[in-house]
Structure 1
Amino acid sequence: MKITCIGGVGTVTGSKTLVESNGIRILIDCGQFQGLKPLRELNWEPLPILPSTIDFVLLTHGHLDHCGWLPRLVNQGFEGKIYCTSPTKDVAKLILLDSAKIQEEDAKIANEGKFSKHEIAEPLYTVAQAEKVFPHFRVVNPNEIIALDAEIEAIFTNAGHILGACTIELRLEYKVVVFSGDIGRDNDVLMFPPTKPKKADYVFLESTYGNRLHPEKDPKEELELYINNTVQNGGTVIIPSFAVERAQSVMYLLWQLKEEKRIPNIPYIIDTPMGISMLELFSNNRKWHRLHEEEFTAMCKMFTMISDYQETIEAIYNKQSKVIVAASGMVTGGRVLSYLERYIGLSETTIILIGYQGEGTRGRKLLEGAKDMKIRGRYYEVKAKVAEIDTLSAHGDQKDLINWLSDLEEAPKKVFLVHGENEPADELRVKIREKHGFECVIPLMGQEFEL
């Protein structure tokens, strides 16, 4: 068996792991690179093998960094099946269509504004190309044994994190190889705790927060403080948010605060069409999350839901204090950019970052104190206050990741630490060695392993 780390190593984006066994090729996730320009440019590069030679794609979940390269894969000749849970299929469809639309819009704006270095700016893929992915999806149930081949089986188990997210266990060549996907938190606001693996000869474990412990602070108290202080100063709160799971978690906390009369009666706006579509998925997939139907209905009534861009313009120019939740979570694109163009230069504005901010993203630059910000070819001075609530991450922290390994009946031969920047991965390696005594390896991009 040969395993090649094509993406998602040394970084938290572009997850792609190729498994080759007895003439069968399986790609675990097919993510898009985000953040630093050298990483984004990898999205335009071909895979080291022809997509037409890949038999299966197994998706751990529907985030862009795990499914966002599928349109390129299909466009370049992939004809196989894409296995995932039902919520992951629905989430991936939303995310791929949204990504394609944003890329088409960004290419159009770049061409009209003539600020692309290319003679003609092209989208990474189009909406039409994204739609060609959908017929390849095959839905699996959690804990169901999927026979990919006469001698290869896959089992998907709950990973927490977001709706439908799973860890994937591959059984092949008399070995068990476990791919964690993104591991959720043991005490997440909306998701159930992840299922721990019992047996594994090899583990590929994400390490996003490998060097961090989530603080014990109450995110409701932090939201309450930032919102009240901003409104008292006549300002607007902007919360860049991932449309999948994070926006719904923030909605739930804001609804609780409003019910408890701890935040003012001002407009609370959800301006992410994909986030709004996700609410329907939450309603249709109740076994995947903690929200009760009564809470869910009451929560939704509190918010003004914006889908039409003309309504976005009206909200932007409404001078009343308000709370805006808009994608994208790392401020890499989406409608949050339109709000920032208007509000980032106002000292009474508060920008609350609520999730992991990858290297090279605008969100990371804001956290690091950037004095100006380039948005759609123009620079804007950053006068807004920038706050971080790091208790809302959908990723497990170092403690959660180490705990996730605690039910293994026997020590795996190796644990490969992926989907993390180098420093977090290396610190997690040390901690796993101390706690469990497992041998850990941190792969390099493109590195191959014979197992």
Structure 2
Amino acid sequence: MKIHFLGGAGTVTGSKTLIEHNNLRILIDCGMFQGIKSLRELNREPLAILPETIDYVLLTHGHLDHCGWLPKFVAEGFEGKIFCTRPTKEISRLILYDSAKIQEEEAKKANEEQYSKHLPAEPLYTTEDVDAVIPKFRVVERDLEIQLNENVFFKFIYAGHIIGACSIELHIDGKILIFSGDLGQDDDVLMFPPQKPQKADYIFLESTYGNRLHPQTNSLFELETIINNTFNKGGTIVIPSFAVERVQTMMYLIWQLKKEDRIPNIPYIIDTPMGISVLDVFKDNRMWHKLSMEECDEMCKIFTLISDFQDSMNAVYDKRPKVVIAASGMITGGRVLSYLEHLIDKPETTVTLVGYQAEGTRGRKLLEGATEIKIYGKYYPVLANILLIESLSAHGDQNDLLNWLSELVVKPKKVFLVHGENEAADELRLKIKERYDFDSQAPFLGQIIEI
């Protein structure tokens, strides 16, 4: 059996792991690379394995770094089935169309204003390319065994992180391979704790926060302090947020603060059409999260939900103090850029980061103290306050990742540490050795391993 690490190795983006056994080829996730330019450029490179020779894709969840390369993958020849849970299909559809639309708009803008080095600038894929992906999805219930051939079957196992997210337990000729996907925190606000594996010969474990512990702080109090301090200065709070789960988590926390009269009566705006659509996914998939239908409805009532572009522009130019939650979470695109164009150079503004910021993204640059930021080809001075609520990450920290391994009844032959930057993966490797004496390694991008 050969394992090809085609993405998500040495980096937290572009997740793609290919399993090759006899004449069967299975791709676990098909993510887009994000962050630094050298990684983004990989999205336009052909896959090392011809897409038409791959039989199936098994999708852990619907984030762009796990599903975002599917349109390109299908356009380049993949003709097989894409297995996922029902919420993951719905989330992937939203995210892929949103991604295509943003790329089309940015290419159009770059060509009109001629700030791209590529003439003409072209999107990685279009909405028509996404149209070709959707019919290939096959919805699978979690914990249900799905036979791929006589000797191979898989099942999805609840992983937390975002709605629909699952780990994958893949059985091949009696061997058990487990792919964690992205794992949520054990005490997440909206998601249930991840289900722990009992048996595995080989484990492919995410290591995003492999070298970090989330601070044991009160995120409600942190958010309350940020909102009140910024309001007292007459400023706006901009919360760049992933449209899936982060937007809903921030809505839930603000709703809790409003119910207790701990924050002022100012506009609370959700400006992400996809984030608003995800609310329907939450309502339609009640078994996947902690909120009741009544809580979803009550929570939504305190927010102004913006989908129309003109309403978005009106909110951008509205000088009143307000709280705006807008995608994208790492400030790589989306409507949050319009707010930052007008607010990043104002000292009374607070930009509150609430999720992982990958290397090379605007979010990471702001977090590391950048004094200027480039948006649509122009540079803006950073005078706003940049704050991070680290405890709100959708990813489990080092302790959560280690605890996920705690119920294995037999020592696995190997743990492969994926979906993490090198330093994070290496520290997690040492901790796994120290606690469990499991043999671990962090594969490099493009590596092929035989097991």
TM-score by length of 1: 1.00
The residue correspondences of 1:145-224 to structure 2 (distance < 5 A) are 145-224=145-224
The residue correspondences of 1:96-107 to structure 2 (distance < 5 A) are 96-107=96-107
Using the TM superposition, give the Cα deviation of residue 294 of structure 1 relative to its aligned residue in structure 2, in angstroms. Answer: 1.9
Write the deviation string for residues 92-123 of structure 1: whole angstroms up to 9, x where unpaired. Answer: 00000000000000100100010110110000
Partner of 1:420, secondary structure, is coil
Using the TM superposition, give the Cα deviation of residue 173 of structure 1 relative to its aligned residue in structure 2, in angstroms. Answer: 2.2
In structure 2, what is the Cα distance between the partners aligned to 1:7 and 1:239? 29
Provide the alpha-carbon RMSD of the alignment.
0.5
Using the TM superposition, give the Cα deviation of residue 319 of structure 1 relative to its aligned residue in structure 2, in angstroms. Answer: 1.1
Residue-pair matches, total: 451
Identity among equivalent pairs (%): 65
What corresponds to 1:9 in structure 2?
9
What corresponds to 2:343 in structure 1?
343
What corresponds to 1:21 in structure 2?
21
Using the TM superposition, give the Cα deviation of residue 234 of structure 1 relative to its aligned residue in structure 2, in angstroms. Answer: 0.4
What corresponds to 2:393 in structure 1?
393
The answer as to 2:57 corresponding to 1:65 is: no
Using the TM superposition, give the Cα deviation of residue 200 of structure 1 relative to its aligned residue in structure 2, in angstroms. Answer: 0.3
In structure 2, what is the Cα distance between the partners aligned to 1:332 and 1:413? 38
In structure 1, what is the Cα distance between the partners aligned to 2:12 and 2:266? 36
Write the deviation string for residues 55-75 of structure 1: whole angstroms up to 9, x where unpaired. Answer: 000000000000000000100
Partner of 1:181, secondary structure, is coil
Matched to 2:169, the amino acid is E
In structure 1, what is the Cα distance between the partners aligned to 2:131 and 2:382? 38
In structure 1, what is the Cα distance between the partners aligned to 2:120 and 2:400? 46
Matched to 1:292, the amino acid is S
What corresponds to 1:46 in structure 2?
46
In structure 1, what is the Cα distance between the partners aligned to 2:241 and 2:49? 35
In structure 2, what is the Cα distance between the partners aligned to 1:170 and 1:110? 44
The residue correspondences of 1:118-157 to structure 2 (distance < 5 A) are 118-157=118-157
What corresponds to 1:294 in structure 2?
294
In structure 2, what is the Cα distance between the partners aligned to 1:399 and 1:416? 17
What corresponds to 2:82 in structure 1?
82
Matched to 2:212, the amino acid is R
Partner of 2:258, secondary structure, is helix
In structure 1, what is the Cα distance between the partners aligned to 2:246 and 2:319? 26
Please identify runs of 4+ aligned residues in structure 1 that moved more than 3 A.
none
Matched to 2:222, the amino acid is E
Using the TM superposition, give the Cα deviation of residue 345 of structure 1 relative to its aligned residue in structure 2, in angstroms. Answer: 0.5
What corresponds to 2:252 in structure 1?
252
Matched to 1:4, the amino acid is H
Partner of 2:26, secondary structure, is strand
Uncovered stretches (5+) of structure 2, i.e. residues with no partner: none
Matched to 1:219, the amino acid is S
Write the deviation string for residues 279-320 of structure 1: whole angstroms up to 9, x where unpaired. Answer: 000000010000122221110000000001100110011111
What corresponds to 2:278 in structure 1?
278
Matched to 1:318, the amino acid is D
Partner of 1:60, secondary structure, is coil
Matched to 1:170, the amino acid is L
What corresponds to 1:323 in structure 2?
323
Matched to 2:423, the amino acid is E
TM-score by length of 2: 1.00
What corresponds to 1:311 in structure 2?
311
In structure 2, what is the Cα distance between the partners aligned to 1:293 and 1:255? 15
In structure 2, what is the Cα distance between the partners aligned to 1:340 and 1:319? 13
In structure 1, what is the Cα distance between the partners aligned to 2:414 and 2:50? 29
Partner of 1:47, secondary structure, is coil
Using the TM superposition, give the Cα deviation of residue 37 of structure 1 relative to its aligned residue in structure 2, in angstroms. Answer: 0.3
In structure 2, what is the Cα distance between the partners aligned to 1:192 and 1:131? 32
In structure 1, what is the Cα distance between the partners aligned to 2:151 and 2:293? 43
Partner of 1:391, secondary structure, is helix
Matched to 1:119, the amino acid is L
